[in-house]
Structures are given as structure tokens and as C-alpha cells.
Amino acid sequence: MAFKLSSVVPWGRNIDEYREMFLLTDSDMKKKIAGFGDGPASFNYQATEAGYSVTSFDPIYQFTKEQLEQRIDEVKNIVMKQMSENMDNYVWDRIPSLEALENVRISAMRAFLHDYEKGKLERRYIYHELPDKLPYEDNSFDIGLSSHFLLMYTALGYDFHIAAITEILRVCREIRIFPLCDLDSNSSEIIEKVISYFRKDFKVEIKKTNYEFQKCADSLLVIKHTK
Ligand SMILES: C[S@@+](CC[C@H](N)C(=O)[O-])C[C@H]1O[C@@H](n2cnc3c(N)ncnc32)[C@H](O)[C@@H]1O
């Protein structure tokens, strides 16, 4: 099925959030990093500015800057209204208010848009839809990241997740997935089954992070090659 712009809800996080969610140390940041479903996050831009190597993959990178800008404008108020109706589902400490949330998300997405065309030319934003084969050799990256995509959209199903994570682990030495709950902050049978599947052949760890905005979304899954 074609990936339609009208079904995209662009919403992006920044490098401080990525570093906390994924426990990315200074030494991790010096490795080759790939982000899957990075969308309009400013992580790639800010990491590149700081001299690090990040390549982002997302189906939204098939669209132009103007199309994404327009879509961000269209959905901003809808998302903020939904947030205001569900404030009890979030922890309002690091981001203390709806206004602060809007500022932090919009400034991340503005930074992404500013960098988008340059980043596409530099092959840092690559149009790709999981679980399709990635245009990279085995072990091309040290760390693969998935923020608020894999294991969160559980409706994509078990087979999708096994195929997508298997393909990521072909090109990355390890993958880190945050958070370990679905869109309603619930753990799900799919998450348990996916973890059991990869435990057979990989080193699998669940780590607690200090990042918790969506309530209960405070754990990170790490799956590593053993050899
Ligand atoms: C909630 S956003 C998260 C954006 C970013 N990772 C962050 O945390 O700020 C989910 C992203 O997953 C992307 N996505 C949806 N389907 C995908 C697929 N099949 N393969 C890769 N990314 C996908 C969406 O386009 C969107 O950018």
C-alpha cells in the first residue's frame, strides 16, 4: 500500500531526548549510527553539526521540504489538542507544560526542515520503508535506533516486527528500541513475543532510562550480535 502524506503525523524529538532515551554515551556518539523512523526529529541535524555520523531512514523522506512543512502545519494543532485532552498520560517535569511541549517539538521540526535538503544530498536522510531491504552492506552501522516507532505501533503485527528488526540487525551491530510500550502505554503480547524471538540468537537486554514523558515509557530494548 502506498505511503500517503495525508496519513503522516510528523512529530519530532531532539538530540537531548535521543541521548537520554537511548543512553547514548559520548563514546556511542562517535560510532556510526542509523535511525529508523527518524521522521522530522532534529537528532540527525544536531548530531551532524556536532561532528557525528548519523544516517536517518523514513518513508516521509520521499516528500519535498514544502510538502512536509505544510503537513507539519496541518497536524500541529490537532496533535496539541489531543495532548491537552490526555495530559494525565504524561509526566510533566522535564517538559512542564503544553506550551513548552509545543515549543520543543516545533523547534526540533524546524531544525530538521532547515537541514532536510542538504541532508538528502549528503545521503543522511534516506527514503526507506521497513521491512524492505536496506541499501547497505551487512554491518555498515554500529548502532541502529528506533524512537517511538518499532514495538509502539503494535498493529503492524508480529511478522512485520520480526522482518524489520532482522533487516536492521543485518546492517547494524546492535539495535536500541524505545519505548517498550504501545501507543496506549501498555505492554503487549507482541512486544514479549518479539523479545523472545531475538533472545534465541542475540544478546538481549532491557534497560531503564531516565527519560519518561509518556507514562510508563521508560525502558529501552537493546539487541546485539553475539559475534
Ligand atoms: C512517531 S514518529 C517518531 C519520529 C522520531 N523517531 C522521533 O522520535 O521524534 C514515527 C515515524 O515512523 C515512521 N514510519 C512509519 N512507517 C514506517 C516504516 N514502515 N518504516 C520506517 N519508518 C516508518 C513515520 O514516518 C514517522 O516518521
pLDDT digits (tens, 9 = 90+) for 31-67: 999 999 999 999 999 999 999 999 999 999 999 999 9
- Does the beta carbon of 33 sit less than 6 angstroms from any atom of ligand 1? no
Which pTM was predicted? Answer: 0.96
- Does the beta carbon of 37 sit less than 6 angstroms from any atom of ligand 1? yes
> What pLDDT does residue 216 have?
80
Pocket residue to mutate for ligand 1, from 43, 149, 152, most atoms within 8 A of Cβ: 149
CB 40 within 8 A of CB 63: no
Report the atom number in ligand 1 closest to the C-alpha of 10. Answer: 27
pLDDT digits (tens, 9 = 90+) for 94-150: 999 999 999 999 999 999 999 999 999 999 999 999 999 999 999 999 999 999 999
> What pLDDT does residue 187 have?
83
More confident residue, 131 or 185: 131
The whole-chain average pLDDT of the chain stands at 95
The alpha carbon of 11 and the centre of ligand 1 are apart by a number of angstroms equal to 9
Closest CA to 72 of 99, 112, 100, 126: 112
Q: Which domains does the chain have, with CATH numbers?
A: 5-224 (3.40.50.150)
* Beta strand ranges found along 45-163 (DSSP E): 53-58, 125-127, 141-147
